[in-house]
Amino acid sequence: MKSKHKIIIPILLVACAGLGYYAFRTDTVQQYKAKVLSEEFIPNQNFDIKGCFSFSKKDSIYKNFRSACPFHYQMLGLAKMNDSSYLFVIAEPPPFVKPDSILSVFKKFNIQAEIKTHPIGYDGWVKDMVVCVGRATTENINHLTKDLNKLIYLSDYKPFVTRLPLAKKRVYYSAEKLNYRISLAEINQWFVEDKELFTDLPDTTKTFSVPDVFKSRKTGIFYSKQPGFVIWSIDKKKDIYAQKSNIRKFTLDADLILGAISDSSTLVIIGREREADLMELPPLNVETILLLASIKDGELSQSLDVNDLLAGKMTNNKDWCPTYLSPQLENTEFGHLLTITDVLLKDWSESGTLRYEDYDYPKPAHYPFDRPLFAKLGLNELVYNWNTANTMFAYDYDHLHLYALNRTGSLPVSYFNPLANYISVGYQYENTAYNYFSGLCNTDLIRVVQYTSLYQIFMDNGIKNPHDTINYAPRNKPYLLYPTAKTLLSNIKNLPAGRIDSIAKQVGKKNYESFQHTRLLQDIDTWERNNHQKLPDNNREEIIANARLQNQQAIRSELSGLQSQLKSLNDNDFNMVCKYLSYPRGEQVSRNKIARLYPVISRTMHLAMLVGKTNYKELGIDLSGIKNMYSNALKNNSSPWMKTPSLIVSYNSPKLTGGHNLSSKIRRVNSINADKAIIASGRPQSVSRGQYDAPATPPPAATDNPNAAAPRTNKPAQRARKTSPPVAKNTKPTSTLPVRKRTEVISASQRGHRGF
């Protein structure tokens, strides 16, 4: 038996060696053939990829990436293994890229591909593709990298990969100066008067200025001869999609948008030549810029709809509310960025005391106010808004149009008192907040400013993208809550008198004991201190008993009154009220038609506040169940690689509303120094209600007045896209204020590779 084994083992060894030699000879022959024919050599792909290091380490490397980049980060990453296998991570591909298109890039290779889902927000997510390549040469990887760049970014300009595993985490707070305030006079002086010289790399022998670009209608990406600026020249007469290859070049080589200049034919966007690392200021997404050019609406909005009838505190003492995004922004990177920065505005204004589930965003080192703003102001309700009033200034002369950003660090902040006709709570608070947020150099706030500035500049200059940009807004979202709203109002409409009395007693007693009793005792103690006498025990008990009784009577009165109003409605009006209350922003509810029904709407909202949403179960409604139904109904509504959260869950949250008002309007001034004067006034961002932006909340606000005016629906304004800015009537400007030298503002130090 042993003798037999001695014969078999050598035979097997010889056979294995022969197979290895054959494989080696096959690769050698193929490599030689590829060299002779000037073809790409593809190594032998006949192997089990599960035995490669790239396969065994894919999960740990992906976890490293998403741990370092927990929020949005579009990237093409690559890890090289010791066995010459590779791992690609294609993070957050654009919606126009299909999985099969990515796989087709690797068609010559033995690969293993997997789509991984990374959660962001309550039920939001992004998807990334992880591809294991078992055997490839450096030449193969270079070709794959180039093809993937062209597929994802619509350009193979400077194709590159980010090395994995990541050596550092995504930077959310920069130590560098990223909050610029460059005036209109400086834009004019540097680029029009001083004629900053630019070149078309790599040919540096020819130079030209921005006025030369307008004269020759030259388009493309150009670099200042003295390092510091990158400009993107766009032909306004052509669709931006036809010029799409320049988008990636600009977003790679410029890390901040500083302003713009245009004439009737050409738009020149001015960027800072890249200084920031990609982990600090990643390139703007090509698909988002194309999306912004396709939008025809003059306003975009985002909010957390905490005022909705069926939003509010659940029995677990947590609050839920639907998220709102303009339809074009649903399931997009920019849309979710707006939701994230809305959360940051509220939380940081409240000194980090709020909690939003599934948004574990890195905390700043300090907050804008010495204590939470809501408590500081002593209000019952507060609206927090990011807005675009005075975000950008424009000056027109000699058929040129100059654009300058107020600040690059953040959008302006407004705080409104909704119970006082949305009047600002005070410019000192808003300016403190604007200084704080823009000075943080938070890279997500900066990214929102850049996208917003492009939206405004594109709209002002008639930049178009007529190619279909798919709208991924869920069609079933607007009236998902209509059946539940109808159930709630039907239950109230059909309550027996005895049940109304029972609810009033039970809820009134619970509400009194939960929060009114302590407050009443504090009021009594304050009265006793101020009047230097103590109330007799029987008087104290009488006051407490009366308070309990008044609370119960108020609930009973509102329930009975609302029931009477609901019974007086015909079926069509009843359904209209339910539809409006389920989705106040709805396009199907005409403001004129709803005006006569507003007393019913107002009383319903007042009753909701009086009863308290934790007590909706007494009216046959479970908010936790509604929240789950809402999320489940929208779980399959997304773009291919991204889903924005359909709702927010928070706790320790007072009545805070607001969001983003992104208007395409730009503040035009009649003096080259006016922007500096507005900024120096200390009141740069606040405007009267309706002058530029209305608050992002969709009332109805609760009121005791059944005859209150009809609510605003806050629907985005439909505006025709402009073909060009206004005809310039101003004379050639002369600045009467100091203008800094450009090198005092933008560094002229050499970049490693002129841009990225």
Q: What is the mean pLDDT of residues 372-382?
A: 86
Q: What is the mean pLDDT of residues 546-551?
A: 70
pLDDT of res. 423: 85
Confidence of residue 632 (pLDDT cuts 50, 70, 90): very high
* Distance between CA atoms of residues 193 and 43, nearest Å: 59
pLDDT of res. 727: 73
Q: What percent of the chain is predicted at pLDDT more than 70?
A: 83
* Tokens at 14, concatenated: 């010889």
In this structure, are residues 617 and 315 in contact, taking their beta carbons and an 8 Å threshold?
Answer: yes
Provide the 10 A C-beta neighbour count for residue 359: 22
* Distance between CA atoms of residues 407 and 67, nearest Å: 31
Q: What is the mean pLDDT of residues 287-304?
A: 94
pLDDT of res. 359: 93
**503 or 403: whose pLDDT is higher?**
403
**Which CA distances in Å does 308 have to 372, 578, 584, 710, 734?**
25, 12, 8, 16, 52
| Orientation angle between helical segments 427-439 and 333-349, nearest 10 degrees | 120
Confidence of residue 379 (pLDDT cuts 50, 70, 90): confident
Helix (H, G, I), strand (E, B) or coil at 610: helix
Structure confidence by residue, pLDDT tens digits, 327-336: 999 999 999 9
Structure confidence by residue, pLDDT tens digits, 446-502: 999 999 999 999 999 999 998 767 889 998 898 899 999 999 999 999 999 999 998
Is the predicted pLDDT of residue 699 greater than 50, yes or no?
no
Is the predicted pLDDT of residue 130 greater than 50, yes or no?
yes
What's the one-letter identity of residue 397?
A: Y
pLDDT of res. 145: 97
- Report the 3 state secondary structure along 313-381: ECCCCCEEEEEEECHHHCCCHHHHHHHHHHHHHHHHHCCCCCEECCCCCCCCCCCCCCCCHHHHHCCCC
Provide the 10 A C-beta neighbour count for residue 612: 17
What's the one-letter identity of residue 579?
A: K
Residue with tokens 């424009």: 394
Is the predicted pLDDT of residue 716 greater than 50, yes or no?
no
Bridge partners, residue 392, by sequence: 405
Helix (H, G, I), strand (E, B) or coil at 396: strand
Counting every residue, how long is the chain?
A: 756
φ, ψ of residue 76 in degrees (nearest 5)? -115, 110
pLDDT of res. 751: 82
* Tokens at 756, concatenated: 């990225």
pLDDT of res. 96: 95
pLDDT of res. 21: 44
- Among residues 171, 357, 287, the alpha carbon closest in space to that of 641 is found at 287
Q: Which residues contact 426 (CB under 8 A, 6 or more apart)?
A: 415
**Confidence (pTM):** 0.88
Is the predicted pLDDT of residue 355 greater than 80, yes or no?
yes
* pLDDT, averaged across the chain: 86
Q: What is the mean pLDDT of residues 613-640?
A: 92
Least confident span in 148-157, 287-296, 589-598, 631-640: 589-598
Least confident span in 73-82, 247-256, 472-481, 589-598: 589-598
Least confident span in 168-177, 253-262, 734-743: 734-743
pLDDT of res. 710: 40
pLDDT of res. 647: 95
* Tokens at 580, concatenated: 């409006």
Q: What percent of the chain is predicted at pLDDT more than 90?
A: 63
Is the predicted pLDDT of residue 230 greater than 90, yes or no?
yes
Structure confidence by residue, pLDDT tens digits, 211-225: 999 999 999 999 999
* Tokens at 616, concatenated: 């909706």
pLDDT of res. 404: 97
* Distance between CA atoms of residues 296 and 720, nearest Å: 7
Confidence of residue 593 (pLDDT cuts 50, 70, 90): confident
Q: What is the mean pLDDT of residues 189-213?
A: 94
